[in-house]
Amino acid sequence: MAKVTVVGAGFVGRTAAMRIAQRGLADVCLIDIIEGWPQGIVLDLKHSAPVERFEVEIVGTNDYKETANSDVTVITAGFPRQPGMSRMDLLGKNAEIVRSAVEQVTEHSPNTMMITVTNPLDEMTFLAAEVSGSPRERVMGMAGVLDSARLVHYIAEELKVSPLSVEAMTLGSHGEQMVPLPRHAKVDGKPLTDLADAETLNRLYERTANAGAEVVSLLQKGSAFYAPSASVAKMVNAILGDTKEVMPVCAWVSGEYGISDVFVGVPARLGRAGVEEVVEMDLNEDELNQLREAAEAIKAKCAELEKLG
C-alpha cells in the first residue's frame, strides 16, 4: 500500500486525510505541530473505519520520523486567510512554515512527491521545490482542480443544469490572475459561449476567482476545506493510480505556452512519475497573453520570496 503524509491537521489537512483513507487510496500519516491534535483526529477517524468500511493504516503524530518513506506528501501547514486578507498577505508567515515542513519531510522521504496546498499557492509550490531540491515534475500545487470545480458549480447553478453536465477549466494563478477559458467550456457537449452571454460569463468568472474569499467572509474564522480536500484527493488518486488524467495543476513549465521557469496553473497529465506532461491546449493570443501575464506575476512574487530569505 502506498503512503501519503498530510502535513497540517487543520481543516484542509484532516479532511484530506479522511478522504484519502475513506477512498482507500493509501495509508495515511497526519502530522501537526500541535500535540494531541493529529493523534485525536486519527483516533476519531479510526473509529469511523468500521462504519465507512476502510482498512488503510492511519497514524497521527508530531514526529517527522513517522512520515518516513511517503510516496506523496500534501503540505497544508500554515495560516488560512481571515476576512479581508488576500492570499498574498500570508506570504511571509507561511513561507517559514512551509520551509520547515518541507525540510523535515524531505529528510525522511527524499523521493516523496509533493502537493502543496498552503497559500499563496503558486509561490509556496516554488518554495517547496527549491527547499526539497526534488526534480520539478515531482512537486506540484493544488489550485486548478479547485478553481475549475468552483467554476463548474457556478456555471451549473446559473444555467440550472447538473454540475456533471459541465466541463470547464481554469489556468493561471490561484487568485486574481486566474485564466478562465470560455472557448473550451462545454455544457452537455454544447459550447458554453452559445448558452451564456459575455456579461454573464464575466460575472461567473469573477465569482470563481473570489470564491475562496466568499467562503472566508461567511465563515469569519478559517477558510474553505471541503472542496480543497476533494481536489487533493483527486490528484493523489491520479498519481498513485497512475491514471494519466489531465487536470489543471500548478506545475513547473519549461517552454510550453512560451513560458519558462515558473510554477503556474496549466493542464498536466498526472501519473506515478508526477507531472508526466504539461499538455498544450490550443489557446488563442488573448488566452496565451493572460497565461503569460499570470506567470510573470508569479515570477515577481517568487523573487520577493527569495529576498525574504
- Site for ligand APR, residues 39 to 98, rule: CB under 6 A: 76-78, 80-81, 90, 94, 97
Q: Of 108, 153, 174, 184, which one is the catalytic site residue?
A: 174
- Asked if residue 34 binds ligand APR (CB under 6 A), the reply is yes
Residues within window 222-251 making contact with ligand APR, judged by CB under 6 A: 222-223, 225, 228
11 is a contact residue toward ligand APR (CB under 6 A): yes
Whole-number Å distance between alpha carbons of 183 and 137: 28
Reported as half-sphere exposure (CB side, CA atoms, 13 A), residue 154 has a value of 23
What pairs with residue 278 in β-bridges?
268
Options 8-16, 126-134, 248-256, 267-275: segment touching ligand APR (CB under 6 A): 8-16
Give the single-character DSSP code of 118.
S
User: Are 260 and 268 spatial neighbours (Cβ–Cβ below 8 Å)?
Assistant: no
| Closest separation in Å from C-beta 247 to ligand APR | 18
- Residues in 97-116 that interact with ligand APR by CB under 6 A: 97, 100-101
Q: Which is nearer to ligand APR, 51 or 218 (CB)?
A: 218
Does position 302 interact with ligand APR (CB under 6 A)? The reply is no
Q: Which three cell numbers stand for residue 100?
A: 520547515
Minimum distance, C-beta of residue 306 to ligand APR, in the bound complex (Å): 20
Query: Alpha-carbon distance 138 to 121, whole Å?
Result: 16
Binding segment for ligand APR (CB under 6 A), chosen from 11-19, 197-205, 240-248, 271-279, is 11-19
CB atoms within 10 A of CB 132: 20
| Shortest Å distance, C-beta 278 to ligand APR | 23
Record the cell numbers describing residue 127, joined without a space.
518554495
Phi/psi zone of residue 52: left (φ > 0), alpha (ψ -120 to 50 degrees), beta?
alpha
- Separation between Cα atoms, residue 174 and residue 263, nearest integer Å: 11
The answer to whether 174 is a known catalytic residue is: yes
Cα 17–chain centre separation: 14
Quick one: which of 67, 106, 119, 148 contacts ligand APR (CB under 6 A)? Answer: 119
State the CB neighbour count (10 A cutoff) for residue 5.
Answer: 30
If one asks whether residue 175 binds ligand APR (CB under 6 A), the answer comes out as no
118 binds ligand APR, rule: CB under 6 A: yes
Give the separation between CA 144 and CA 278, rounded to whole angstroms. 13
Residues engaged in binding ligand APR (CB under 6 A): 7-13, 32-34, 76-78, 80-81, 90, 94, 97, 100-101, 117-119, 222-223, 225, 228
Catalytic residue annotation: 174
